[in-house]
Each structure stands twice: as structure tokens, then as C-alpha cells.
Structure 1
Amino acid sequence: MLKEWYKTQQTKNLSNQDTIKSQLKLANPSKKYDAIVVGAGPAGSTAAYFMAKEGLDVLLLERGPYPGAKCCGGVSIIAEHVHKLFPNFWEECPYERIVTDQAYWWMTEDSILTARFRSTKLAAAPYNRFTIKRVNFYKWLTAKAISAGTTLLLNHHVSEVLFDGQQAIGVHVSPPQNSDFIADIIILADGANSMLAERAKLAPQISPRNFALYVKETIALPAKVIEERFNLLPGHGTIIGLIGYPTAGFNGTGSIHTFKDSFNINVGISLADLAKAGFNPNDLLERIKKHPHMQPLLDGGTTIEYGAALIPEGGYYAMPELVHPGLMIIGDAASLVNGVHGINLAMWSGFFAARAAYAAKASRDFSVKKLSLYRTLLDESFVLQDFKANAGASKLLKEIPYLFDLYTRMANETAYHITKIYTMPKREKRKFIFQKVTSMQPILKTIRDVWKVLKVMR
């Protein structure tokens, strides 16, 4: 499959765009739908697909001119998660590279301590991870929803949820359409900082501590050059986590994702820390690009995309109430994001919401009690079990604001002195290294921090 990989990607992209255009249907505002989904991202399109597949009459409303219009660059998807929802999806999905290489860089201003794993076993079906361009993946998912019978309307900005008492009964679309659409079930998948949920008082106003702003730049290079610089086999990709130096002393992360003929650099910290620091988010991106060990990767590259995204990072305790009379909240709007899963959790939340919607429609009962099947399915799955297990992570990062920065510098300092050759006995060298590291932070404080981390990891 790798031999034909480059040839098939463009064909897949064009096919998905044609599907959206050819199957786009006009909606009738006077008609009552079984379900309305707001937002054609991974959560919304997945929910629409599985509801339509079960015979529900579904309207999918997207405010952009096409799905993923406001997205920049790409991410990775976990193959097993997507495969269980869309079997053998890699045969039609426009992915970029098969991820066979995972690395972490603990960075200071002049050094990098790395951990890396690669295996050709990860290049065999059902694979492990793929890198994707967001816009292509969004279009593919939306095309799947349309092919199952979903009605899609683009350039429709939903500004309000309509209620009959406490029961959600529809949505209002802003001008120029200025229309109301009515349905038995409303599903909000309008992304991080869901203004619809906030306006309807279904979710609290966002806290700067619970959201991070990430900036991302896409840099174009020939495929062969990317493979040479990142030491990759043709068609294979790497994901590199960046910790420490990139976030200028604050807890946050960055990453590098490789695609067919480009790669992303992204970095972000919490909104609260950005306000405290007083610098522009782009300063963090420039900080990474100017690192001496990044220069060889960037040489000759051309910036083709630049953007920013708000990401929920409050964890389990920052999730809003997910189920209301006639309404469910899914994906980023429900803060269903963690450090490893983003798109994958969004898709699963859409699938579980679709199952709850079908059960509610079958019984003609759209109460909280009936729609709570959505929350039950989340609770019983890996989605919320992982969230609960790591519920204290957000609090931990607030308690130890120096966690990523200080311990990255301690690790690099240790590695430096281990690597450097001294004219002293090994026993004396070990004592010297211990004194150097403990001078950066007392050993008892380090032990207390380690204990706090271990209590959060489950």
C-alpha cells in the first residue's frame, strides 16, 4: 500500500470534495427533523453519520464555507479508535503518513534530551497512528455523513438554541438566512468555548485556567527531504513531543507532526499563563524555530499555513453538564480532550450521542433520563474512565507551575555531566553530578513533587 500511497492521496481529497458538493441538499426550515447537529467537525459529522445510518432525518449545520474551514495544519489519529467506528478507514481516508516513530524532546536553550521509539511493526494493518490534514479529514467525515443521508448546510451560523420551557426544540440561524430549524434532538458540536451552550446557560463561562491557546505553523518541504531530516522510511511519519524550553518556563507543550510534503510545529500554554506572561503566543513559536537544534529541520522550508486554536485542558472536573432536555453536548464543546486524544474522543462522543438519540427517537422520549444513555456510554468506555483516572492532572499543573521547565533543565543538566569526560574518579563524578542537580532544587522538594505526580497517574 505504501507504494501507491502518494498517488492516491490527491484522488481521495478530490473525491471527498465532490461528494460534499454533489450530495448537498437544500433544507426546509418549516420541516421538523429528528435531529439537528451544530458543527461539522469530527464529533458533529460522526454523530450525524451514525444517526442517519439508523434512519434518522438529520440536519448538519456548519458555519464555514466547507468543513474544517477554520482549521490549520494537521494532527494524528489513533487507528484502532477510528477503525472500530469506520472499519478499514485507511483504504479511503486521505491520511498523510503512517506513524512508525514517536519521540519526546526535553529541551533547554542549548540542548535536547530525547527518548525515541520506532518500529516497522507499526506500519502493518491495523496500524497504530496516522498523521492527517484536518481539513481533508473533516471533509471525509462529512462526506460519510452525507452518504448516509444527512442533510448538510454550509455558511449557516447558529446563534441560538430554541426552547419550549426547558426542552430544546430547535436552533436559530443568523442572517442572511435568519431561519429557525426545529428538531426533536439538538446536538451541540460547535467546538471549544461553545458560545451556544454558554448563551443558553447550559455551560458556565470559560475559565482562562481551563483553556490553552496553541499556535501552529505548517512548513513545506519535499517529501524526500522530510524523510531524510527526520530519518524516516518513505510514507512513514514521526510525532515529536516538545517539553520545557518551548513554553518559556510555563507548563505547556509543543509538538512536531510530519506530513507527506510538510510538517507542523505547534506550541501552547493556558490563557491564564499567557496573560501572566504578557507576551504574544507567536513568541513561543518563534522561540522554538530559533532553537539551534531546530535550524537544520527548517532550512529551506516555506511557511504555507499559520493559525491558532483554543483547546480545552481543564480535564474531568471542567466538563459541563452533557445532557439536557432534548439536547446533548459533544466533542470539544464538552471539553472531551486530553493530552493524547482529541479528534478520537470527539468522534467517540459523537457515536455515543448518536446511540442515545436513536434510543430516544425509538421511544419518543427526549427527556434527560432517556438521553442520559449518552453519559452512561461515555462512563462505561475508555473515554471517561481515562478522564476520571487523570482528573487531578489539571490541578497538579497549577500546584507545580515549574514542573515541565525545572525538571527538564535538571534532566538535561544530568545528561550533560554524564556525557562530559572529567579527570576525576567515577565515584567522585557521581557525587559531583548529584550536588549539581540538587543545587537546582532540594532533594526533599523533588521527592514531594514526584509523589504528587505519582498520585495523579493511575
Structure 2
Amino acid sequence: MRAEKFDAIVVGAGMSGNAAAYAMASRGLKVVQLERGEYPGSKNVQGAILYADPLEKIIPKFRDDAPLERHLVEQRFWIMDGTSHTGIHYRSDDFNEPRPNRYTIIRAQFDRWFSAKVREAGCTVLCETSATGLLKDWNGNVTGIVTDRHRDTIRADVVVLAEGVNGYLGTKGRLREIPKPDSVALAVKEMHFLPEDVIADRFGLTADEGCVIEAGGTITRGIPGLGFLYTNKESISIGVGCLVSGLAAASERPYDILEAFKHHPSIRPLIAGSEVKEYAAHLIPEGGATAIPQLFGNGWVVVGDAAQLNNTAHREGSNLAMTSGYLAGHAIAEVRSRGGSMIRDNLSLYKRLLDESFVIKDLTKHKDLPRFLHANSQSLFVSYPKLISQAAQSFVRVDGASKLDKERATSASFLKARSGWGLISDAVRLARAWY
């Protein structure tokens, strides 16, 4: 391997790394991909949501053999306090379409499948191999990597960094800064196994239909974050994700928050009798558009979570990762087809393509939302969930009090908690952050 040179090296075999490697190898480039795990996906035991559109653009017939769990027909959004939830549900039979829009997946299985497609495209995949450093020439241009295999070196015209949000290589090589605690969340997840028919019955599902629940409120104890639950065929993925800086400030352990979420009266019956077989924790980028680092330079590009490409507002990540990886691979292949070298000016094509895609447009639209959530965590994740629960209970409880008195009491509780000006200010600032 020391003497061999490649057109491109991809560091990481997750969504973005596989998309980049596939895009380049399928266009005839000589590509090598490094994965530190025993096999691609071995570090990703958790369930996840797969968005079909970006993958369909990369592998049009992926549904023929991809390990898909359930296609999603229902989305539930819950605002929770200690004993209740107030929810919005959207369910449509339109999602029982020939080519469904979203699926639940098990990452270990899916990443392994995706990697097999990468190999079929002609990429060399090296597992149980970590990149420990970047090779640079006298001008500081990246020319390859150093691995942990007896400090072997691999040279290439360009290195694609798809190493995750806390990737070692990019920060060690001073290509980007270490992510700040207020721009990353720590997600902890468990896999709860139940018979397929039990899951279908509890969530009102048939055949391969699936449901997702996303929940915010007092469950995260005033820390910006969400709880979530995904239905797989014979398991339920359940977890919470909280801002790292919030966890540190509150001295809270994410596993304690997950335990409380699991025992919430609205969640407990859904996982009752299940067998827990897997537990995982990983970091998620939460900084939005303002946290995106430099995405390209002489001999390198960065994609996916390593590039902070995650849409907090819509809880989307895998589609941004795959799209960024594919566009990076496409840009590199295009530069090569034109006979160009992998210098900064030529690799800027990747950034131009990304700017034209939904990825940067969506992140730019919501660029102020992370800061708004962080600055107003107590009201958004404690006060309002409690007020909404009290208002909903007052509306449905029949106890002899007049409706007018109930409405006045509800209004008074909101005004006491936030004041009239506070309510207006919250609404205006949320609207500005959203739009």
C-alpha cells in the first residue's frame, strides 16, 4: 500500500463517506476508503431514518435489496410535561406509495449494504484502519494520509474527510476547529425488541408501515433537546439528544434523561415487555449554517457531520450527509474529467454545487434557530410545555367550572409565566428564527 497512489481517499464509511466513494468509483476513479470499525456500520448499532430521495439519485434501484425496516406513514410531534403530552399527528395513506418517501433502518445493516455497493463500484475498502494524520507537501497541500497500520502512508490527489462531527483528522490537521459544546448534541439510544405483530398493534400499523414520534418539553430538563422513537420491524429505537453545553451546565447525565423518557406515562406502554439488546451514544452537529467550517482546500474536502451539515429545525441528517458526499464525489470526478488538479480553486466546485442544493438553502433559512433555542431553553423546554399541558387539560376536563372562567384562568397562567410582552416577544423571535 505504501507505493500505491490513488485518485482519492475517503476517510469514513458512514452515509456521506459511502456516497462520496460511490460517486467517484462509479465514474472510474481509483478510490480507497478507510473505516476504523470491523466493518462499515459496526460502530452504528442504532436505528435511524432514511430519506429516499437523495439515495435514489445515487442508487436508483436501492429498494431492490437494501435492508429497509418500515416505510413511514405517520409522524407524531409531542410536547411533554411530567405526566402528559400534547400532540400533533400526521398520517396519510399517500405514503403507502410504490416508492415510499422515508424508511426506518438499522444503521449497522444499512451501512454494510451501502459499503457493498461501494465495493461493487470499484472502490477499495480498508476496515479496521484508522487515519492518524494528513500528509502535506512543503506548501501545505494535502497529499495523502498516515494510517495506524505500522504508520503506512497512502497518497492520493484528494482526501475526502467523512469522519463525523468530532473527526480527529481534520482538527489535528488544522483544517477545522474542534466543535464547540454549544454546536453539538449528544444522542443516546437503545434498541428495544418486540414481536412484529405487537409493534404493529401498539402503533396501529399494517404490513411494513412505520411510525415516528419526536418529543420535546420537560423531558430534557430545560436543556435544548428532543426525545424520539422509531418503529422497526421487530424493534423500537428510542433515545434522547441534548446539547452538550446544556448537559454540562446542568450537570445532567444523558442516560438518566433517557431513563426518565422511557418511564414517562406516554412512552412506557409503547415499550412495555421489550428486551433491550443494544445501547449507543454519538455526537450530532447542531450549530447550523453559522457553524459550517471551511469545506474545501488544496487536496481536501469535508462532508457530512464533519461539515456540521444537520438540519436542527427538521431533524434531518442522513439526507444532508448523503447529498454532500455525493456532490463532493461528483465535483472531484468532474475536476478530474477536465484534466484539472485538486487545488482549492477547482475544488470550490463542490461548494458551488452544495450552495445550489437544498442543503445550504435549508440551513441558511434556519441559521438563527439554534441560537434562539439555546438562548430560550428554560421557556421553550420547561415553561411552555407545562402551560400547554395545563391549557389542554383545562379544555377537556369537565368539572363544573364555566368555560369562560377556564379561558380566563388559562390566559392568566400564560401572562403570569411570560407576561404579555414576553409572549409577543417569544412569538416574534421564533418567527424570525424560523423564517
Q: TM-score, normalised by structure 2?
A: 0.96
2 CA distance for matches of 1:399 and 1:280? 21
Shift of 1:279: 2.3
1 CA distance for matches of 2:109 and 2:271? 25
2:11 and 2:33 in contact (8 A); partners too: yes
1:151 partner letter? T
Shift of 1:151: 0.5
1:391 matched to 2:367: yes
Match of 2:230 among 235, 257, 268: 257
Name the SS of the counterpart of 2:204 in structure 1. Answer: coil
1:75 and 1:257 in contact (8 A); partners too: yes
Match of 1:61 among 16, 21, 34: 34
1:159 partner letter? T
1:353 matched to 2:328: yes
2 CA distance for matches of 1:407 and 1:424? 24
Shift of 1:87: 1.3
Match of 1:449 among 399, 411, 426: 426
Corresponding residue of 2:68: 95
Deviations 1:354-413 (A, max 9, x none): 111112223232111100100000000000000111110111112212223222222111
1:413 and 1:437 in contact (8 A); partners too: no
- Runs in 1 of length 4+ with deviation above 6 angstroms? none
Corresponding residue of 2:125: 152
1:35 and 1:58 in contact (8 A); partners too: yes
1:172 matched to 2:181: no
Moved more, 339-348 or 261-270: 339-348
Matches within 5 A, 1:111-122: 111-122=84-95
Q: Count residues with an aligned counterpart.
A: 430
2:419 partner letter? P
Corresponding residue of 1:421: 398
Shift of 1:149: 0.4
Deviations 1:311-367 (A, max 9, x none): 110111111100010100011111111233211111111111111111222323211
1 CA distance for matches of 2:268 and 2:177? 43
Matches within 5 A, 1:16-415: 28-164=1-137, 165-175=139-149, 177-339=150-312, 340-362=315-337, 363-402=339-378, 403-415=380-392
2 CA distance for matches of 1:397 and 1:433? 25
Name the SS of the counterpart of 1:406 in structure 2. Answer: helix
2:65 partner letter? E
1:80 and 1:127 in contact (8 A); partners too: no
Corresponding residue of 1:11: none
Q: TM-score, normalised by structure 1?
A: 0.92
Please give the root-mean-square deviation of Cα atoms over the aligned residues, in Å. Answer: 1.2
Deviations 1:224-260 (A, max 9, x none): 0011111111211101001112211222111000000
Name the SS of the counterpart of 1:59 in structure 2. Answer: strand
1 CA distance for matches of 2:45 and 2:366? 28
Name the SS of the counterpart of 2:418 in structure 1. Answer: coil
2:341 partner letter? D
1:202 and 1:321 in contact (8 A); partners too: yes
2 CA distance for matches of 1:70 and 1:447? 46
Name the SS of the counterpart of 2:215 in structure 1. Answer: strand
2 CA distance for matches of 1:424 and 1:209? 46
Deviations 1:255-279 (A, max 9, x none): 0000000001110211111111112
**Which structure 1 segments of 5+ residues have no match?**
1-27
1 CA distance for matches of 2:83 and 2:243? 25
Deviations 1:109-144 (A, max 9, x none): 011111111112101122121000001111111111
2 CA distance for matches of 1:79 and 1:123? 14
1 CA distance for matches of 2:69 and 2:409? 48
Shift of 1:107: 0.8
1:318 partner letter? A
2 CA distance for matches of 1:394 and 1:425? 41
Shift of 1:433: 2.0
1:209 and 1:270 in contact (8 A); partners too: yes
1:39 partner letter? G
2:223 and 2:247 in contact (8 A); partners too: no
1 CA distance for matches of 2:188 and 2:401? 46
Shift of 1:159: 0.6
Shift of 1:40: 0.8
1 CA distance for matches of 2:84 and 2:357? 41
Shift of 1:78: 1.4
Q: Cα distance 1:72–1:239, how it changes in 2: closer, same or farther (>3 A)?
A: same
Name the SS of the counterpart of 1:226 in structure 2. Answer: helix
2 CA distance for matches of 1:281 and 1:364? 48
1 CA distance for matches of 2:22 and 2:79? 41
1:168 partner letter? V
1:70 partner letter? K
2:216 partner letter? I
2:123 partner letter? T
